[in-house]
């Protein structure tokens, strides 16, 4: 049953007078694993920042479950954000807090669990990402891959409906990045969350994505939307086919230059 969980309507993103992308309109359905892809510098992370409300759009609207986010006031935005879990590119863990304290913070802020229950839930969230027992470690004491997983544990602390990932597997070895992908799928399947991720890791894109949008840096707009496996075979845009098939060609270089 497809229903637009996040709807982007004629969104134009600009830093001052420099337009990054214009006229983006697409839907992210409930339960999708949605990938935002495109060449370097096309505005993928900027789009994510717009979805998260960290940057205001130059024009257009973003709707969550039918409600406008762009026109919502600060309080309404906070209410919407409570249903989100976000992992940032470099983790975004608070370096002055242990992993347990990092995961505990959202529980402390938004739930009334007793300390014993919180400890049990922290252990469960960390166990989901394979880090049970690392409660008292600081982010600087664990490896990069563990930090990404710990960030995921914090993101899912409140059982969010939408999970955002900025380059989840950047800097991970193929096995760790595959395990992280599997974890994202497992958590999504079990909790029914919608997943939105920025990535250009092809194995991830083909492995787990169910829907995607391709942002083109040259024409400054989206040029493809749909399941990436189908786009690879049937997109009418040669650049998209090349991107997904990992081919370099003069045509692509000219277009992205």
Partner 1 sequence: MSQAQPAEFELQVEDRDSAVLTLRGDWVHGREHPDYRELRDELAVISAPELVVDCSALGTWDSVLMAFLLQCYNQCRDENIEFQPRELPEGVQRLLQVATAVQPYKPPAQRRRPWYARLHLGELLRDFLERSRETLAFIGEVSIALWKLLLGRSNTRFVDFRTFCYQAGPNAIAIISLTSVLVGMILAYLGAVQLRQFGAEIYVADLVVIGTLREMGVLMTAVVMAGRTGAAYAAQLGTMQTNEEIDAIVTMGVSPVEFLVVPRILALVVMMPLLTLYANLLGVIGGGIVAGGMGITPLMYMNEGEQALSLVHLNVGLLKSVIFGALIAVAGCRAGMNSGRSSAAVGEAATEAVVIAIVYLIIADAAINIIFQQVGI
Environment class of residue 216 by beta-carbon count within 10 Å: exposed (0-12), middle (13-18) or buried (19+)? buried
End-to-end CA distance of the chain: 40
186 contributes a contact to partner 1 by CB under 8 A: yes
Contact 224, 235 (CB under 8 A): yes
Among 10, 41, 95, 249, binds partner 1 (CB under 8 A): 95
Residues between 230 and 249 that touch partner 1 (CB under 8 A) = none
Q: Min. distance of Cβ 136 from partner 1 in angstroms?
A: 8
Among 73, 140, 246, 257, binds partner 1 (CB under 8 A): 140
Nearest Cα residue to 210 out of 235, 198, 228, 188: 228
Nearest Cα residue to 199 out of 77, 38, 72, 86: 38
123 contributes a contact to partner 1 by CB under 8 A: yes
Q: Which residues have CB under 8 Å from 190's CB, separation 6+?
A: none
Residues between 187 and 206 that touch partner 1 (CB under 8 A) = 187, 189-191
Q: Min. distance of Cβ 156 from partner 1 in angstroms?
A: 9
159 contributes a contact to partner 1 by CB under 8 A: yes
Q: Which residues have CB under 8 Å from 174's CB, separation 6+?
A: 203
75 contributes a contact to partner 1 by CB under 8 A: no
26 contributes a contact to partner 1 by CB under 8 A: no
What residues line the site for partner 1 (CB under 8 A)?
94-96, 111-113, 116-117, 120-121, 123-125, 127-128, 130-134, 136, 138-140, 159, 183, 186-187, 189-191
């Amino acid at each position: 049953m497809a229903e637009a969980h996040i709807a982007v309507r004629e969104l134009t993103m600009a830093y001052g007078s420099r337009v990054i992308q214009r006229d983006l309109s697409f839907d992210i359905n409930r339960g999708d694993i949605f990938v935002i892809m495109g060449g370097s510098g096309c505005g993928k992370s900027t789009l994510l920042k717009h979805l998260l409300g960290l940057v205001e759009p130059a024009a257009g609207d973003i709707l969550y479950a039918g409600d406008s986010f762009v026109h919502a006031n600060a309080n309404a935005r906070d209410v919407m954000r409570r249903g989100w879990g976000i992992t940032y590119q470099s983790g975004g863990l608070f370096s002055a807090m242990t992993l347990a304290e990092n995961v505990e913070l959202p529980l402390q802020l938004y739930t009334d669990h007793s300390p014993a229950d919180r400890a049990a839930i922290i252990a469960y969230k960390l166990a989901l990402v394979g880090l049970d027992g690392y409660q008292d470690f600081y982010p600087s004491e664990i490896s990069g891959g563990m930090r990404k997983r710990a960030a995921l544990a914090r993101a899912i602390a409140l059982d969010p409906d939408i999970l955002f990932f900025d380059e989840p597997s950047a800097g991970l070895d193929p096995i760790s990045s595959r395990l992280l992908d599997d974890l994202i799928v497992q958590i999504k399947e079990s909790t029914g969350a919608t997943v939105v991720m920025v990535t250009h890791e092809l194995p991830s894109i083909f492995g787990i994505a169910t829907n995607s949008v391709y942002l083109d840096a040259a024409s400054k707009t989206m040029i493809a939307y749909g399941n990436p496996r189908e786009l690879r075979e049937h997109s009418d845009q040669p650049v998209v086919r090349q991107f997904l098939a990992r081919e370099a060609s003069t045509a692509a270089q000219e277009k992205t230059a």
